[in-house]
Structure 1
Amino acid sequence: MADGPLIGISTYAEPGVRWGAWQLDSALLPAGYPQVVQRAGGLVAMLPPDAPERAAATVARVDGLVIAGGPDVEPVHYGAEPGPRTGPPARARDAWELALIRAALDLRVPLLGICRGMQLLNVALGGTLVQHVDGHAGAPGAFGRHPVTPVPGTRYAGLVPEESSVPSFHHQAVDRLGRGLVPSAHAADGTVEAVELPGPHWVLGVQWHPEMAEDLRVLRGLTRAAATRVAA
């Protein structure tokens, strides 16, 4: 594809954002997300929250999908009560992004979940989350770094075969794996840092933030899979 595959990225719905003299409800996305997709050879479509029943039609228009990071997933989606350190719910975003993930799985559109996106992928497939872990974030407003080790033989290990240091900012993590998912990287404390679906459908979730790193291998894997799907 001369111009690159079209990658849809879910966005943040934020109330009352100030734009000059205006204060308006907004659909936002940190610039690192579109920039890293562009650097990896893709075109970008930002996907603001919409009615969940429109997710399949939306996903059918893109060649690949990224579910961006963001707030905690509401525990009701995996049958739990909120813990004392779980953040307030983002119900419209949860519903929209879960619908996007399920549509991508149904339509076999290449899918990358980043941080919250990985957690939502796990929840969409029936998994659960640990509602608080320590040591996986920097100071408020700053990313921490820690090493992750790939699991040999996985899709992730095929992209990044060596241990690498990654930027991270999260306090929740995968607990019980969702249906069909396998772990493909771990932190030193055993936290699952990447998950994937084995087989030809390209589905990967990473717990860290590749949009804040120089390493493009994960995003290039997504854009290659998206381009291959279009060419098939």
Structure 2
Amino acid sequence: MAHKPLIGLTSTVMSINTIETQNENVDTIVVYNKFAETVREAGGYPIVIPMGKPEEAEFYANLCDGIIFTGGEDISSITYGHEPHPKVKKVNKHRDDFEIELVKKARENEKAILAMCRGYHLLNVSYGGTIVQDVESEFSDSINHFQQSATRTEPTHTVALEEDSKLYEIVGEKEVAVNSFHHQAIGEVGKGLRVAARAADGVIEALELEDKNKTFLLGTQWHPEELRHENKNMMAIITTFIKEASKNNK
């Protein structure tokens, strides 16, 4: 009998002080607990993948049945051959390099991948794609994608799904309402990937593999884990990923 799949959660490092007895900040591995909660609810075991060296990526790709590439910093423009836009925020090239290799090794080992927000951008860059470094600057008629005043569980705009996509098969709706906390977006789509959803202004909101018969891979600009209790379609994305990851755990 197969056991619950082991799901890796990518993380970052922040210098913070969360313990009253400390008198200084310390470097701390950080990943939102909501990701771990969601994996458990969907039937998996979450583990944190610490940011490491690219040569360590293969170990974690082999260890996990599936990997969630989480949110965080902007992607360094160096990783896709562009110069930085003035509105680029904090980047973490060390994290970029490690996670790009982690995508590569996960695909080589046919492990399921779900990527959100920063992780979604990282996924596209891993396949040779590029990033729109600031949506508001580069899209003159863009909607508000950086909803700073909204809660993380609050949908703020809609996206239209491609009806021949894997994402549409999962969700079963032509249009879904999503949360939105990004100022960057997908530029040129990476080789082997295809658009699965767009916002009303044309911004690409989801990517998946061109070949739907290959091991599960999906990236969303929004955070479905934050919407899972309010919208069954968002939980369906997570449970489908967990189900696909389970195929690696016989």
TM class, shorter-chain normalised?
over 0.9
Name the structure 1 match of 2:214: 200
Give how far 1:230 is off.
2.2
Name the structure 2 match of 1:84: 86
Name the structure 2 match of 1:191: 203
Q: Decide whether the 8 Å contact of 2:57 with 2:102 is kept in 1.
A: yes
Q: Tell me, in whole angstroms, the C-alpha distance in 1 between the residues paired with 2:148 and 2:61.
A: 36
Q: Decide whether the 8 Å contact of 1:13 with 1:93 is kept in 2.
A: no
2:17 is paired with a residue whose SS is strand
Give how far 1:140 is off.
5.6
> Which whole-Å deviations, capped at 9, do the CAs of 1:117-162 have from their partners, x for residues lacking one?
1111110111001011141121268446211121112111111121
Q: Which runs of 4+ in 1 moved over 3 A?
A: 140-144
Q: Decide whether the 8 Å contact of 2:159 with 2:198 is kept in 1.
A: yes
- Answering whether residue 164 of structure 2 is matched by residue 153 of structure 1, we say yes
- In the alignment, structure 1 segments of 5+ residues that lack a partner are none
Give how far 1:201 is off.
1.4
Name the structure 2 match of 1:218: 237
- Answering whether residue 116 of structure 2 is matched by residue 97 of structure 1, we say no
Q: Decide whether the 8 Å contact of 2:52 with 2:98 is kept in 1.
A: yes
> Which whole-Å deviations, capped at 9, do the CAs of 1:61-119 have from their partners, x for residues lacking one?
11000000111000011110110110132122111211211111111100011111111
Q: Decide whether the 8 Å contact of 2:148 with 2:181 is kept in 1.
A: no
2:78 is paired with a residue whose SS is helix
Q: Decide whether the 8 Å contact of 2:2 with 2:246 is kept in 1.
A: no
1:184 is paired with a residue whose SS is strand
| One-letter amino acid matched to 1:226 | A
TM-score (norm 1): 0.94
Q: Tell me, in whole angstroms, the C-alpha distance in 1 between the residues paired with 2:182 and 2:106.
A: 24
1:171 is paired with a residue whose SS is coil
Q: Tell me, in whole angstroms, the C-alpha distance in 1 between the residues paired with 2:196 and 2:241.
A: 16
Q: Tell me, in whole angstroms, the C-alpha distance in 1 between the residues paired with 2:156 and 2:184.
A: 16
Q: Tell me, in whole angstroms, the C-alpha distance in 2 between the residues paired with 1:52 and 1:19.
A: 31
Q: Tell me, in whole angstroms, the C-alpha distance in 2 between the residues paired with 1:220 and 1:80.
A: 36
2:198 is paired with a residue whose SS is strand
| One-letter amino acid matched to 2:55 | E
CA RMSD in angstroms comes to 1.5
Q: Tell me, in whole angstroms, the C-alpha distance in 1 between the residues paired with 2:14 and 2:100.
A: 18
- Residue 137 of structure 1, aligned match among 132, 146, 162: 146
- In the alignment, structure 2 segments of 5+ residues that lack a partner are 137-143, 229-233
> Which whole-Å deviations, capped at 9, do the CAs of 1:16-42 have from their partners, x for residues lacking one?
333222231100111111111111111
| One-letter amino acid matched to 1:180 | G
Identity, % of aligned positions: 33
- Residue 112 of structure 2, aligned match among 103, 110, 113: 110
TM-score (norm 2): 0.88
1:11-22, aligned counterparts within 5 Å? 11-22=11-22
Name the structure 2 match of 1:32: 34
Q: Tell me, in whole angstroms, the C-alpha distance in 1 between the residues paired with 2:162 and 2:15.
A: 40
